[in-house]
Amino acid sequence: ETGVTQSPTHLIKTRGQQVTLRCSSQSGHNTVSWYQQALGQGPQFIFQYYREEENGRGNFPPRFSGLQFPNYSSELNVNALELDDSALYLCASSWELGSGETQYFGPGTRLLVL
Amino acid sequence: AQSVTQLGSHVSVSEGALVLLRCNYSSSVPPYLFWYVQYPNQGLQLLLKYTSAATLVKGINGFEAEFKKSETSFHLTKPSAHMSDAAEYFCAVSVTGGFKTIFGAGTRLFVKA
């Protein structure tokens, strides 16, 4: 059983560009959440997908968008990158939708915006 | 709205000493509470979680945490620190019917030989 994987591991972009980050869920998991972790801070919830539908969203602007595919893998897209978007982006998958469900985290994608 | 406060951004202990990492939460409804560990350049790994069963929760690697409703606390402890415990620890909260998990700012644990 493979765990949660994310690609790429590192990425450098310039301000104003667009970026797509990818996440492959753990086998059998139908729920994916994305988090932004700035340096020295805890993860901040961006949004969650359940069975290809967005289930909830945190306090992030619309230029942060996502997708979940039929195989439950997921993408995070960020348009018009800003310097403050530099962070570690984590995805986490779980068996089912539910507040008490254990989330399994990927290693993250570290994004640097210059 | 839920929130989490972790007291102490850095904690330093000697190898073999007690580890105590503090977490207080705020929630208007019964919470689910979690402790995660993050090693450098890695994602988060679940240590333990409280889901309204036993108030004393045992996790992996010898860690445990006690849910105290009266104190709104969920402190993480380990009787004897090991060098491999050096990492960042995050407390988190979610609630029934909610969709997001709220994380604290984290506590970095240093273990001295």
Query: Does any CB of chain A come closer than 8 Å to the CB of residue B43?
Result: yes
Residue B112 has pLDDT above 70, yes or no: yes
Chain B's closest residue to A100, CA to CA, is B32
Of A41, A55, A105, the CB nearest to B44: A105
A43: nearest Cα among B54, B104, B34 = B104
* Residue A42, min C-alpha distance to chain B (Å): 4
- Per-residue model confidence (pLDDT) at position A1: 57
Residues of B whose CB is below 8 A from A48? 99-100
- Which whole-number Å values give the CA distances from B46 to A5, A14, A112, B13, in the listed order? 16, 34, 27, 22
Chain A's closest residue to B108, CA to CA, is A40
Instruction: Give the tens place of pLDDT for each residue, B4-44.
Output: 999 999 999 999 999 999 999 998 888 899 999 999 888 89
Instruction: Give the tens place of pLDDT for each residue, A100-112.
Output: 788 999 999 999 9
Q: Do B90 and A43 touch (CB under 8 A)?
A: yes
A85: nearest Cα among A24, A12, A33 = A12
Of A41, A55, A102, the CB nearest to B46: A102
Chain B's closest residue to A46, CA to CA, is B100
Residue B113 has pLDDT above 80, yes or no: yes
Query: Does any CB of chain A come closer than 8 Å to the CB of residue B108?
Result: no
Q: Which of A2-6, A18-22, B109-113 has the lowest mean pLDDT?
A: A2-6
Query: CB neighbours (10 Å) of residue A90?
Result: 27
Residues of A whose CB is below 8 A from B45? 105
Instruction: Give the tens place of pLDDT for each residue, A18-55.
Output: 999 999 998 888 899 999 999 989 999 999 999 999 98
pLDDT mean over A2-25: 95
Amino acid at B76: L
- Report the C-alpha gap between B26 and B95 in whole angstroms: 11
Chain A's closest residue to B94, CA to CA, is A99
DSSP A103: P
Residue B99 has pLDDT above 80, yes or no: no
